[in-house]
């Protein structure tokens, strides 16, 4: 891998105009605390300078749509799949050999983008008021009467919208609408985002919720006694959805080689280990990474339980929004 990476970097360097340092522009929906150290390493090893525009994943996707071919960006790095699906038409194809180690569930089927780290959907619950075996065994069971008024729900959260979209793809629109209606009728505690699910649980406003895997570790890092834990649904249930943060190279890029080298770097052992250790997300190349040291469900258990699902089908967020409005959750 390292040889391949160096090879690509070398090609990228030779392709550059002599005496001019290569420069690429990255639109990053991922935050500076995460990205900056990686870029430093990348620039040290390849000599390629990276200009980063930090912003919200959605805002940057809207910006890229507006800019079209005139975009100064070479790479877009998004926090969620829906944004990648939006930009997919203007992404260039990534070389097949770069992605051969990446399982299909982590990347675009047409190689237009790749996941850079996995973000598992799972349940978080109050260890003060619930036992793990009281939780629903499947996503379908979430609407059971016994959970009336106990679940924290963020209807406008991007990950939740994507997860409901996955349910629509998997079970059909009718079943998904019925599920949402029952969920809405079950008097959920409406919150604004995933962080708020956790604070609502700690505050006693809610007992459990459906969230992403990396939030709990952040709370535990700040407070080891944070009163919550993770639980998975049954193996293969649509509830156990592995989503990704991912990146692609824009077709309009004027330094595609250098941009490809950066994507290659994000998939390297160094970067993959860094994601696991620093933000408690799952590597997209499990073979390359030492045992996951994060808190909560470990990589092996999570990837075994995760459903095989084509993330590219998660494009119709608008339809999901309409459905949420129909059932009165929005």
| Closest separation in Å from C-beta 46 to another protein | 18
| Stretch in the footprint of another protein (CB under 8 A) among 57-65, 136-144, 229-237, 251-259 | 57-65
54 contacts another protein (rule: CB under 8 A): yes
Q: Which is nearer to another protein, 29 or 239 (CB)?
A: 29
204 binds another protein (CB under 8 A): yes
Please give the angle made by the CA atoms of 163, 60 and 255, to the nearest 5 degrees: 115
DSSP percent split of the chain into helix, strand, coil, nearest 5: 50, 15, 35
Q: Is 191 in the site for another protein (CB under 8 A)?
A: yes
Q: Smallest gap, in angstroms, from Cβ of residue 197 to another protein?
A: 12
Judged by beta carbon, residue 75 or residue 94, the one nearer another protein is 75
Strand-strand pairing, 49-54 and 75-78: unpaired
* 161 contacts another protein (rule: CB under 8 A): yes
Q: Considering only the stretches 1-9, 114-122, 184-192, 265-273, report the one whose residues sit in contact with another protein under the rule CB under 8 A.
A: 184-192
CB of 189 to another protein, least distance (A): 10
By CB under 8 A, name the one of 185, 187, 203, 234 that touches another protein.
Answer: 203
Q: Rounded CA gap, 38 and 152, in Å?
A: 34
Which stretch, 77-85, 91-99, 112-120, 235-243, contacts another protein (CB under 8 A)?
77-85
Could you tell me the smallest distance in angstroms from the CB atom of residue 195 to another protein?
6
Check binding of 58 to another protein (CB under 8 A). Answer: yes
Question: Residues 40, 59, 254, 310: which binds another protein (CB under 8 A)?
Answer: 59
When asked if residue 67 is in the footprint of another protein (CB under 8 A), the reply is yes
What 3 state SS string does the chain have? CHHHHHHHHHHHHHHCCCCCCCEEEEEECCCHHHHHHHHHHHHHHHCCEEEEEECCHHHHHHHHHHHHHHCCCCEEEECCHHHHHHHHHHECCCCHHHHCCCCHHHECCCCCCEEEEEEEEEEEEECCCCCHHHCCCCCHHHHCHHHCCCEEECCCCHHHHHHHHHHHHHHCHHHHHHHHHHHHHCCCEECCCHHHHHHHHHCCCCCEEEEECHHHHHHHHHCCCCCEEEECCCCCCCCCCEEEEEEEEECCCCCHHHHHHHHHHHCCHHHHHHHHHHHCCECCCHHHCCCCCCCCCCHHHHHHHCCCCCHHHCCCHHHHHHHHHHCCCC
- The least distance separating another protein from the CB of residue 314, rounded to whole angstroms, comes to 12
Nearest to 171 by CA among 139, 194, 195: 139
Question: Least distance in Å: CB of 28 to another protein?
Answer: 8
Using CB under 8 A, which residues numbered 256 to 315 contact another protein? 279
Write out the binding residues for another protein, residues 304-323 only, by CB under 8 A.
Answer: 317-318, 321
For 152, 170, 201, the CA distances from 206, given in Å and listed in that order, are: 6, 28, 5
By CB under 8 A, the residues from 103 to 132 that bind another protein are: none
Binding of another protein at residue 192 (CB under 8 A)?
yes
What residues from 206 to 225 belong to the interface with another protein (CB under 8 A)?
A: 214-215, 218, 222-223
When asked if residue 33 is in the footprint of another protein (CB under 8 A), the reply is yes
Considering the rule CB under 8 A, would residue 325 count as an interface residue with another protein? yes
Write out the residues near another protein by the rule CB under 8 A.
25, 29-34, 51-63, 65-67, 70, 72, 79, 82-83, 86, 156, 158, 161, 190-192, 194-195, 199, 202-205, 214-215, 218, 222-223, 279, 317-318, 321, 325, 330
């Amino acid at each position: 891998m390292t040889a391949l990476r160096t090879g690509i970097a070398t090609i990228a360097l030779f392709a550059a105009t002599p005496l001019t340092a290569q420069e690429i522009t990255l639109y990053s929906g991922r935050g500076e605390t995460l990205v900056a150290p990686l870029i430093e390493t990348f620039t040290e090893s390849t000599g390629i300078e990276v200009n980063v525009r930090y912003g919200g994943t959605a805002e940057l996707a809207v910006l890229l749509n507006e800019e079209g071919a005139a975009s100064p960006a070479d790479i877009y790095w998004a926090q969620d799949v829906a944004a990648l699906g939006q930009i997919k038409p203007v992404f260039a194809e990534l070389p097949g050999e770069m992605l051969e180690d990446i399982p299909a569930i982590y990347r675009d089927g047409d190689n237009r983008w790749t996941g850079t780290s996995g973000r598992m959907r799972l349940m978080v619950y109050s260890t003060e008021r619930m036992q793990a075996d009281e939780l629903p065994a499947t996503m379908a069971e979430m609407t059971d009467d016994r959970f009336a008024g106990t679940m924290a729900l963020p209807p406008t959260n991007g990950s939740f919208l994507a997860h409901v979209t996955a349910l629509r793809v998997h079970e059909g629109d009718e079943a998904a609408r019925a599920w949402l209606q029952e969920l809405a009728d079950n008097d959920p505690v409406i919150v604004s985002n995933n962080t708020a699910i956790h604070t609502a649980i700690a505050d006693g406003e809610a007992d459990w919720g459906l969230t992403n895997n990396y939030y709990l570790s952040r709370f535990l890092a700040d407070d080891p006694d944070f009163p919550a834990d993770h639980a998975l649904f049954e193996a293969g249930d649509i509830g156990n959805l592995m989503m990704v943060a991912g990146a692609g190279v824009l077709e309009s890029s004027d330094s595609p080689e250098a941009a490809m080298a950066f994507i290659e770097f994000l998939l390297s052992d160094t970067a993959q280990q860094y994601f696991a250790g620093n933000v408690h997300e799952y590597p997209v190349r499990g073979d390359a990474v030492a045992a996951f040291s994060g808190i909560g469900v470990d990589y092996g258990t999570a990837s075994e339980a995760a459903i095989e699902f084509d993330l590219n089908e998660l494009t119709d967020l608008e339809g999901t929004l309409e459905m949420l409005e129909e059932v009165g959750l929005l």
